[in-house]
Amino acid sequence: MTNDKEILLSVRNLDVCFGKRRNRFKAVNNVSFDVYKGETFGLVGESGSGKTTIGRAIIRINPTAAGEVIFKGEKINGKISRELDRRVTRQIQMIFQDPMASLNERAKVDYIVSEGLYSGDKLPEAERKQKVEKALAEVGLLPEFASRFPHEFSGGQRQRIGVARALIMQPEFIIADEPISALDVSIRAQVLNLLSELQKERGLTYLFISHDLSVMRFICDRIAVIHKGVLVELADTEKLFEHPLHPYTRALLSAIPLPDPAREKNKKLLVYDPAQHDYSVDQPKWVEIEEGHMVWGNEKELNQYREILKA
């Protein structure tokens, strides 16, 4: 594949395991993908598929068992220098799923938003407060909110505080882990529009993690589909919706609710059965089936996918 876009983040053959040797569980299995500078890259799958585990591995919360995470040409997983660790902490930030659980209930917003600044060179108090006010203003919150506690805010406001906490570090890359799933429907569009506006203003790059494909279609440039720790398909957003190849992707797309009641009543819901794959002899691989469109399958399945694309 020839692509002139700049790769900001590259994940290569990533494994993440939990537990000790006898009870070792591989949560992420041989995952590879690139994220281009300035894009919103989506990672979608059902609960427990490994989406959040990948995000936490990139930001160095979860240790990796194998593979590489390369950010701006430098390997950032495993043992790295203190200087690189500090740089990564500033340049990569994460917005967590539950705004109530991810904010320190005993701390005021002023400290929560500026906490990351304490890990570097000490700032003068006036400059620190100025940065907090600016970060809050960018997400549509008033400066006086800095003196309040998280429980005094609504869910949407708490998530905005989480966004401000990420923005104050001046990051290049933000991992948004289901940032709207815990919010009311009326607030979700506000947060999505906020993230989109900030991306345009600052040239941010997002890894957007979600199980909601309708939301992903709205915000993502490309989408990767993950099932039980394995990437099964990756393509431009519209290409994935128009020409899904892997049976799991097709099953996910069939589950999206339709706004037309008549179509919703008559649509065919597909059920994915992993037993349909026979990998006993012909082993699967991660292949570019057409330009920019990756899929997981063995040679027999790949030939079937090629026939689908021709048709």
CATH code of the domain in which 72 resides: 3.40.50.300
- Residues facing residue 37 across a β-bridge: none
**Residues near 266 by beta carbon (within 8 Å), at least 6 away in sequence:** none
Q: pLDDT confidence of 260, banded at 50, 70, 90? A: confident
Copy the structure tokens of residue 65.
């068992």
Report the chain's mean pLDDT, rounded to a whole number. Answer: 91
Range 69-77 average pLDDT: 96
Measure the CA angle with vertex 9, ends 8 and 15; round to 5°: 175
**Residues near 101 by beta carbon (within 8 Å), at least 6 away in sequence:** none
Q: pLDDT confidence of 3, banded at 50, 70, 90? A: low
Which one, of 230, 217, 288, lies nearest residue 3 by Cα?
A: 288
3-state secondary structure of 23: coil
Task: Give the residue, 258 or 201, on which the prediction is more confident.
Answer: 201
Full domain range(s) for residue 278:
7-310
Unique residue bearing structure tokens 């320190």: 104
Would 2 be classed as within a structural domain? Answer: no
**In the prediction, which pLDDT does 30 show?**
95
Which one, of 36, 11, 4, 32, lies nearest residue 295 by Cα?
A: 32
Is the pLDDT reported for residue 2 higher than 50? no
Would 1 be classed as within a structural domain? Answer: no
**In the prediction, which pLDDT does 120 show?**
64
Residues 222-243: tens digit of each pLDDT: 999 999 999 999 999 999 999 9
Number of domains the chain is built from: 1
Range 273-293 average pLDDT: 94
How much is the pTM? 0.90
**Alpha-carbon gap, residue 150 to 79, rounded angstroms:** 35
Q: pLDDT confidence of 244, banded at 50, 70, 90? A: very high
Range 110-134 average pLDDT: 86
Is the pLDDT reported for residue 303 higher than 90? yes
Is the pLDDT reported for residue 111 higher than 60? yes
Is the pLDDT reported for residue 212 higher than 90? no
**In the prediction, which pLDDT does 214 show?**
84
* H-run or E-run covering 248: helix 247-254
Would 30 be classed as within a structural domain? Answer: yes
Q: At what angle do helices 155-167 and 185-202 cross, to 10 degrees?
A: 20
Is the pLDDT reported for residue 254 higher than 80? yes
Is the pLDDT reported for residue 45 higher than 80? yes
pLDDT > 90 fraction of the chain, expressed in percent and rounded? 66
Cβ-count burial 252-267 (b if 16+ within 10 Å, e if not): bbeeeeeeeeeeeeee
Task: Give the residue, 194 or 119, on which the prediction is more confident.
Answer: 194
**In the prediction, which pLDDT does 98 show?**
79
Would 186 be classed as within a structural domain? Answer: yes
Is the pLDDT reported for residue 1 higher than 50? no
**In the prediction, which pLDDT does 121 show?**
66
Task: Give the residue, 203 or 183, on which the prediction is more confident.
Answer: 203
Which one, of 33, 44, 40, 48, lies nearest residue 253 by Cα?
A: 44
Q: At what angle do helices 155-167 and 125-138 cross, to 10 degrees?
A: 130
With contact defined as beta carbons under 8 Å apart, do 210 and 44 qualify? yes
With contact defined as beta carbons under 8 Å apart, do 93 and 87 qualify? no
Task: Give the residue, 17 or 258, on which the prediction is more confident.
Answer: 17
